[in-house]
Chains A and B, each alone.
Chain A
Amino acid sequence: MASTSTIKKERKDTSALVDTQKNKKAMTALESFGRNAGLCIYALFALFPLLWMILCSFKADAQMYNTVFRFTPTLDNYEAVLLGTDYFRAFFQNLIVSGGAVLLTVVAGVPAAYALARYNFKKKEDVAFQILSFKFAPEIMVILPVFLIFQKIGLYDTYFGLIWVYQLITMPLLIWVVRGYFEDISVEVEQAAQLDGYKWFNVFFKILIPLVKPGLVASGLLAFIFAWNSFTFPLVLSGFNIQTITITSLRYIASDTVHYGQVAVASVIAVLPEIIACLFIQKHLVRGLSFGAVKG
């Protein structure tokens, strides 16, 4: 009697065990379903606007209103924007200003980053923090007096004026991020090179720069993207001579007689270089975006 009851009990136990295992399996299946569903919903939110932008850029104005996904693609919008307007000019001017800004930042900022990483001098942390705090200064506040001064000294609406002001965007980023990359290099590397008879600037250019190059290129590209996207500075400091893409694109906004296909083309042209650049810097993105605070 006793033995049968134990057997029964054991059977019950194992069946309960199988049940919980089944439950667990169902739970993980449910969990991964929920996980993927959540991701898909967010993906729709994050990516559909970009997809829609590309779709619209190939839609003829006539088909814009009565079609959603099925339409005959056309390149008319691209032709209209690239040949019919000065958008392409704005594209190149944006390229010159942002590229120039990054170049100046690299020339002046990389040595500063090196000094902040390697040397131990008075007020070092204060200087570093001051450089970071430039990033948090409200752009509008900085720009009003700059506007007055630039008009007085003739820098208003010039390439150099904009490139100089863009340093507020690009320089703190580059100095803070590249400083971190310098710190990652062990100081023994430098000492070994010095023992081999290298002068300090040779150590810098022949040993250190090649070592930080991936990080330097990535933060340079990120600084370029930030400069490319700048809105406030060119809005106030550029006039008829220089027009950046972000400012030129304003004319497509909120007008009643808008050609939506051309709006889409304008956005595609502005976004495409950035997305391509973004693909190259994925590995360094977190580090760059957080100014080196998170070494992702």
Chain B
Amino acid sequence: MSNSRRSAKAEVNYNEVPRNVRIRPYLIITPGLLILIGIMIPFVTAIFLSLTNYSFRLPTWKFIGLRNWINTLTNPSFYRALWVTIKYAFSATLTQMVLGTIIALLLKKDTLFTRILKVLFTFPLMVAPAIAVLIWQLMTSNSVGVLEKLLNVFGVMNFPWASSHSTAMFTAVLIDTWVNTPFVLLLVLAGIQSLPKSPFEAAQVDGASPWFIFKTLTFPMLKPFMYIALLFRLMAALQEFGIIYALTKGGPGDTLMNISLTGYMTAFQYQRLGEALPYLLVLWMIVNITAKYLVKRQRKLAMQAQGY
């Protein structure tokens, strides 16, 4: 991340210090790492188990080589899940990025009104996915929901929300957007507040149009901040589980069955753990590669923005 450039004065010269002091950092960091690595042993186990026919139903298991992987990669449901994952991740992330950036730009002026809004806008971000689904159920329910009553005024009756093929994705993305737009908003706003004043004053003196200022000054300078928001949002959206599970458990049909959901259902509903793991390992690879790429781009952009 951008703060990886450490200040040189925070470093201690190690050739002059005795051995017991030299190993001190490793000792200090050990408990933290042990706890985390203890949790990551399962990762190795996951790769191993993906090569077996392990199931909660069978008393024994045996090594079956790459059969799970071949089954998964030739299964059309894998590609459907992959497509749902990508569709969900991109529509949710894009909506949140655009909306969050617009609202952050609107909040730019520092008045009492915007100061209060900034605090209030952080509230949805604190809400757990399952609870967000509950809250939106109160909004969209066809019997008591206020949105249904509003739509009735416009002559739309019984809008199906999560229960129809055509609107389930929209509903899930809507809830995701409600929860997570403030995240983008906060990061972009922090970027806006860190912008230097002089280039903008110079542009205004030169009589540049607001759109030109945005295109050539604001946007490029905000880009590193937007990349961080994008990184965090895209990573989370690619593996979204809570909202979709609470909303429809992947339904109706397989409309919302992304890779996380399919992996979970294969392991626990159909009790085929060995078959579930290739799905999740592929997801892990996708997430990791995307994260590495975005982190690299972000570092480069942050350097450029600082004039390196």
Residues in chain A within 8 A of chain B (CB atoms) = 35-36, 38-39, 42-43, 45-50, 52-53, 56, 64-65, 68, 104, 107-109, 111-112, 114-121, 125, 127, 131-134, 136-146, 148-149, 164-165, 167-168, 171-172, 175-176, 180, 183, 186-187, 200, 225, 228-232, 235-236, 245-247, 249-250, 252-254, 260, 263-264, 266-267, 270-271, 274-275, 277-279, 282, 285-286, 289-296
Contacts and interface: CB of A to CB of B under 8 A. Distances in A.
14 contacts: A39-B117, A64-B143, A117-B10, A138-B239, A142-B40, A167-B36, A183-B6, A229-B126, A231-B242, A232-B242, A249-B134, A253-B134, A270-B131, A292-B1
Contacts of B288: 133, 136
Chain A interface secondary structure, helix, strand, loop or mixed?
A: helix
Interface stretch (B86-94, B187-195, B197-205): B187-195
Given A68-B146, A115-B29, A144-B49, 16 more contacts: A42-B103, A42-B121, A45-B178, A108-B34, A108-B35, A139-B239, A245-B131, A260-B143, A260-B144, A267-B135, A267-B138, A274-B127, A278-B123, A286-B186, A289-B232, A294-B190
Contact of B241 (A139, A165, A168): A139
Interface string B117-151: 10111111111111101111111010110100100
B134 A252 contact: yes
Interface of B: 1-4, 6-7, 9-12, 14, 24-26, 28-29, 31-36, 38-43, 45-46, 49, 54, 99, 102-103, 106-107, 109, 113-114, 117, 119-131, 133-139, 141, 143-144, 146, 149, 178, 181-183, 186-187, 189-191, 193, 225, 228-229, 232, 235, 239, 241-242, 245-248, 260, 263-264, 267-268, 273, 276-277, 280-281, 283-284, 287-288, 291
B181 to A, nearest CB: 7
B10 A180 contact: no
Contacts of B267: 144
B59 to A, nearest CB: 14
Contact of B123 (A50, A134, A143, A252): A50
A252 B131 CA distance: 10
A229 B32 contact: no
A35 B32 CA distance: 47
A165 B137 CA distance: 30
A125 B4 contact: yes
A145 B45 contact: yes
Contacts of A118: 10, 12, 25
A50 to B, nearest CB: 6
Given A119-B12, A120-B12, A138 B283 contact: yes
Contacts of A236: 268
A248 to B, nearest CB: 9
B128 A231 contact: yes
B12 A282 contact: no
B7 A183 contact: yes
A152 to B, nearest CB: 11
Given A111-B29, A127-B29, A141-B263, A53 B135 contact: yes
B190 A46 contact: no
Enumerate the 6 nearest inter-chain pairs by beta-carbon distance, A residue then B residue, closest first: A112-B32, A296-B190, A145-B42, A119-B25, A229-B128, A141-B280
Contact of B138 (A125, A141, A260): A260
B25 A286 contact: no
B10 A183 contact: yes
Nearest to A61: B144
Given A43-B117, A43-B121, A271-B126, A141 B134 contact: no
A285 B119 CA distance: 10
B245 A231 contact: yes
Nearest to A151: B56
A43 B103 CA distance: 10
B308 to A, nearest CB: 17
Contact of B128 (A142, A228, A292): A228
B39 A250 contact: no
B137 A167 contact: no
A229 B236 CA distance: 14
Given A231-B241, A294-B228, A286 B276 contact: no
B43 A263 contact: no
